[in-house]
Amino acid sequence: MKSVRTAFALIAFSLAAADAAAGQDLVITDAWTTPSLTENATGAVFLTVTNNTDKSVSITGGSSPLADRVELHSMRTTHDGMMSMDRLLQAEVPAMSRLQFKPNDLHVMLIGIKHKLKAGDTLPLTLQLARQSSISTQVEVRPLAAKLQTEDTEEAQEEAAEETPAPKSHLRKKH
């Protein structure tokens, strides 16, 4: 009987270790947002998620104690040249690749920010993954000039993105 309990304990430990290792294989870098002008505002978070595993990973949402809701959104240009924002049900990070959340493109939307964000602040963000796991990071609040500089270098980012395989199509929900 003792050997059965030991076997179950080893199996449980192995499963927990596998989950922990999976979390380390997914890395969030360069997470940032801009200051909010008021409380209860919305804001976009930009970041890069790198998947060092041999399987794709689905991001299905997020949370932050500083926002009422966290959603995945994408910007696109409509047939008449207008920008449109869509809520995504998930974003796929391909195996051994990265997915960039950047201005005027894929981003994490903070809805109902609970207090004004100032340059230099940080806020916690957790991204929910399929299979009921998650990964957390700290988001840096950068001066508004950071967004403008990022948009100025968008061409360089697009060139870098061309070197990265395109993510699988996202499920869209009109916002």
> What would the pLDDT profile of 113-136 be if each residue is shown by its tens digit?
999 999 999 999 999 999 889 999
Domains and CATH numbers, the chain: 26-174 (2.60.40.1890)
Percent pLDDT > 90 in the chain is 61
Decide if 140 contacts 32 (C-beta within 8 A): yes
| pLDDT tens column, 154-164 | 444 444 444 44
122 phi, psi to nearest 5 deg: -130, 155
Please report which confidence band the pLDDT of residue 70 belongs to, taking 50, 70 and 90 as the band edges: very high
Show the beta-strand stretches assigned E in the chain.
26-33, 42-51, 57-63, 67-77, 83-88, 91-93, 97-101, 107-113, 122-129, 133-141, 172-174
CB 87 within 8 A of CB 175: yes
- Mean pLDDT for 75-82 is 90
What is the token pair recorded at 171? 């499920």
Tell me if the pTM is above 0.85. no
Average model confidence (pLDDT) across the chain: 79
Retrieve residue 157's tokens.
């980012």
Can you tell me whether residue 165 is helix, strand or coil? Answer: coil
